[in-house]
Each structure stands twice: as C-alpha cells, then as structure tokens.
Amino acid sequence: MRSKLSRFAENTQRKNVVEPGKPIFAKIQGNWHSYFENDYPIVLELGCGHGEYTVGLAALHPKINFVGVDVKGARIWKGSRDAEALQLSNAAFLRIRILQLEDSFAEQEAAGIWITFPDPHPKESEEKRRLTSPRFLEMYKQVLQPDSWIHLKTDNLALYEYTLEVLRNREDVQNLTYTDNLYISDLYGIEQQIQTTYERKFALRGINIKYVRFQFR
Ligand SMILES: C[S@@+](CC[C@H](N)C(=O)[O-])C[C@H]1O[C@@H](n2cnc3c(N)ncnc32)[C@H](O)[C@@H]1O
C-alpha cells in the first residue's frame, strides 16, 4: 500500500484534485463550471472519504458534475484514482474542511449534497460539529440552488434522530422523507444502493442503514 506521503504527492499531480497549494484552489469559488468545462449541475459529497458516492454517482449521471469534499488527502487519493481509472471527467475532489465550504463555492453554485456516514459526534458538547447541525445547514443553504436535494446516509440512530428533530423545527424545509431501514424501504433506489467503505462495515455488522432527504424552500 502506498504511504500517505506518496498519496499526497500524487494528489499534487492529479487534475481531479483541487487542494490548497494549487493555483486552481485559490480561484475555484464561482468557477466550477469552467473547471469542469461544461454547464452541468454540481452535486457535492461531504466527508466523502474514499469517494464512493462521488465516483458512483458520476458514473450513473454523465451530465451532472460531482465534487467529493474531505479534509483527508490520503482518502481523497483513492476516489481520485478510481475516477481517473473510469475516465470520469465529471468527478473531482476538493480537500478542505467543510466549514470552509463557502470559500470554495459561490452562492447557489451547487445543486445537491450527499452526506455519507458523517462522524456522529455523540456528545452534547460536540453538537456544533455534526454535519446536520444548524450552522452547517445554513452553509448548505447558501451554496445550494433553491429546491436542491440534501441526502444523508448514516448508521447512527442518534444522529438520524437528531437530524430529523433539527429539520422538523425549521420552517424552510420541504419534502422531508426518511427511513430507519433503507435496504427494505421504497426509498432504496439506484443512487441509494451505492455503498461506501463505512457503510459496508456497518451493514456487515447487521446495523440498519438510515436515510434522510429534504429540500430547502
Ligand atoms: C466516518 S468517515 C465516512 C467516510 C465516507 N463517507 C464513507 O462513508 O466511507 C467521515 C469522513 O468525513 C471526513 N470529515 C470529517 N469531518 C470533516 C470536516 N469538518 N471537513 C472535511 N472532512 C471531514 C473525515 O476525514 C472522513 O473521511
């Protein structure tokens, strides 16, 4: 297996990795369409890890661009390699902290978000770090076009219930749809069937996969 350092070095040479230190990184906000050289919608995967959703969705939808976002370069490396191997010109990876999302995307530049198995941050004191907490939702609302879908997949019951509570308490959420057992649900469509690294681990342990989707008005 390649060391982290050699993965980081390869990322610097990969066109589909946008990260600090590259000239493209400083000017990417508002310029994703010229980066992809098309006008297709741009959908994000937050905390993408190895980028299974970014790669899987890009293969399913050639006329949508997908950007996997994660802070860990060694994980992004794998998604980037897989996207290259499949010659997916509509998949890219952005190495940032999600709190910096608005520095990399202009208002309404994105058209959808997938949040795949985020760290649950179970302690009350960590609520602000949950990717479905109000401050993150406000950020998503800024970068998304109205009526864009936000999808969450999680193994974690507490995060699932927390997310539903946060969303039910908002007046700007519509079409809230959810299941605490995705694999036996009507919501288990072709996109929902893509599996991530963490999902495979949890599913093997017999943990039900939970799924939530909604739009902001
Ligand atoms: C539990 S892993 C899930 C990875 C992948 N989505 C999966 O399902 O296999 C959470 C991922 O989110 C990333 N992450 C956590 N907090 C982040 C943040 N604030 N900004 C960027 N990435 C973050 C981690 O680096 C990690 O890759």
pLDDT tens digits for range 28-37? 999 999 999 9
Mean pLDDT on 24-31? 98
CATH number where 99 lies: 3.40.50.150
pLDDT in tens, 36-54: 999 999 999 999 999 999 9
- Residue 1 is predicted with a pLDDT of 67
Can you state the angle between helices 73-85 and 52-60, rounded to 10 degrees? 20
Distance (angstroms) between ligand 1 centre and the Cα of 131 equals 10
197 lines ligand 1 (CB under 6 A): yes
126 lines ligand 1 (CB under 6 A): no
Instruction: Give me the count of residues in the chain.
Output: 217
| C-alpha span between 214 and 217 (Å, rounded) | 10
- Which residue's C-alpha comes closest to atom 12 of ligand 1? 47
- Residue 42 is predicted with a pLDDT of 98
Domain that holds residue 32: 4-216
Nearest to 53 by CA among 114, 104, 132: 114
| C-alpha span between 186 and 118 (Å, rounded) | 23
Please report the atom of ligand 1 found closest to the CA of residue 116. 6
| C-alpha span between 62 and 162 (Å, rounded) | 34
Q: Which helix (H) or strand (E) holds 56?
A: helix 52-60
Q: What is the mean pLDDT of the chain?
A: 97
75 lines ligand 1 (CB under 6 A): yes
Q: What is the best residue among 71, 95, 135, 201 to mutate for testing ligand 1's pocket, by most ligand atoms within 8 Å of CB?
A: 71
| C-alpha span between 80 and 186 (Å, rounded) | 32
pLDDT in tens, 164-180: 999 999 999 999 999 99
Distance (angstroms) between ligand 1 centre and the Cα of 48 equals 6
Please report the atom of ligand 1 found closest to the CA of residue 129. 19
- Residue 103 annotated in active site: no
Q: Which of these is catalytic: 39, 103, 119, 172?
A: 119
CB 172 within 8 A of CB 141: yes
Two structure tokens written together for 146: 């109205």
| Domains identified in the chain, total number | 1
Q: Which helix (H) or strand (E) holds 8?
A: helix 4-13
- Residue 2 is predicted with a pLDDT of 78
Distance (angstroms) between ligand 1 centre and the Cα of 23 equals 25
77 lines ligand 1 (CB under 6 A): no
